[in-house]
Amino acid sequence: MRIDIDESAFARNDEIAAATRVLLRERRIFAVNMLSAPGSGKTTLLEATIDALCGRVRCAVIEGDVATTHDADRIARHGVPAVQVTTEQLSASCHLDARMVQQALDALPLDGIDLLFIENVGNLVCPAAFDLGESAKVAVISVTEGEDKPLKYPRLFRVADVAVLNKIDLAPYVDCDLDVIEANLRTVRPDLTVFRTAARTGEGLGPWLDWLRAGVAAARG
């Protein structure tokens, strides 16, 4: 059994991603590709982040899901533009690719955006293989997933610029040692920047927000 992913299809993806990267740079938009397993708390993290940055950084979100518009609906309630991509009817439903993002960008007011979040399909494997033209990749991992996940799904953490260790408020209930997760992250990627957050309570959001503000400032030039 082989799934033949045509190399030329990857090349075509990279071409579109490169064009998106140029477009975003011209518009001075800092674009963050958020990757994680299902249920790591990405959407809750984005909701808290948007509220915290509100007014000073103009945010927008592209939501990737296999089905439903739940997440775009949640984001829109926070008063920022949100576009939902549902992958169920597309040829490969397990990840976002550069063309899906390119099409979603057409629906966004690019002149009014400083910070664009692209929330990928919840999946620790496939999305890591696709460049979307983003400025940075952020891997989100929940403490409830277990300490070994960075070792078991190394590629995502290897390509990430930053990791957010989320739901730290649940650590006492799941026999999870945050230092062990962080050591496992560094086994895969020694220079990885790791933020510890509890998006639900707001704990630890400060350094994450500072990192985003720095990215936005750098994109403004």
**Residue whose CB is less far from a copy of itself, 105 or 113:** 105
For the chain, first and last CA: distance in Å? Answer: 49
Specify the residue, 30 or 153, whose C-beta has the smaller distance to a copy of itself.
153
Q: Counting contacts by CB under 8 A, is residue 173 touching a copy of itself?
A: yes
Q: What is the C-alpha to C-alpha distance for residues 136 and 25, in angstroms, rounded to an integer?
A: 13
Q: In DSSP terms, which residues pair with 139 in a beta bridge?
A: 35, 163
The 60-99 contact track toward a copy of itself, x by CB under 8 A, reads: -----xxxx-x-----------------x--xxxx--xxx
Tell me the C-alpha distance between 111 and 66, whole Å. Answer: 29
Cα angle 124, 195, 150 (rounded to 5 degrees) comes to 30
Quick check: 37 binds a copy of itself (CB under 8 A)?
A: yes
Residue 12 sits in the site that holds a copy of itself (CB under 8 A) = yes
Among candidates 150, 146, 195, which has minimal Cα distance to 170? 146
Q: How far is CA 14 from the centre of its chain?
A: 18
| Torsion sign across C-alpha atoms 93, 188, 45, 173 | positive
Q: Given candidates 83, 134, 137, 167, which one binds a copy of itself under the rule CB under 8 A?
A: 167
Residue 183 near a copy of itself by CB under 8 A: no
Closer of 58 and 196 to a copy of itself (Cβ): 196
3-state secondary structure of 212: helix
Q: Per-residue string for binding with a copy of itself, 100-129, x by CB under 8 A?
A: x--------------------xxxxxx---
**Residue 56 binding a copy of itself, by CB under 8 A:** no
146 near a copy of itself (CB under 8 A): yes
Number of neighbours of residue 200 by Cβ within 10 angstroms: 15
The residues binding a copy of itself (CB under 8 A) are 1-6, 9, 12-13, 16, 37-39, 65-68, 70, 88, 91-94, 97-100, 121-126, 142, 144-146, 148-149, 151-155, 167, 169-170, 173-175, 200
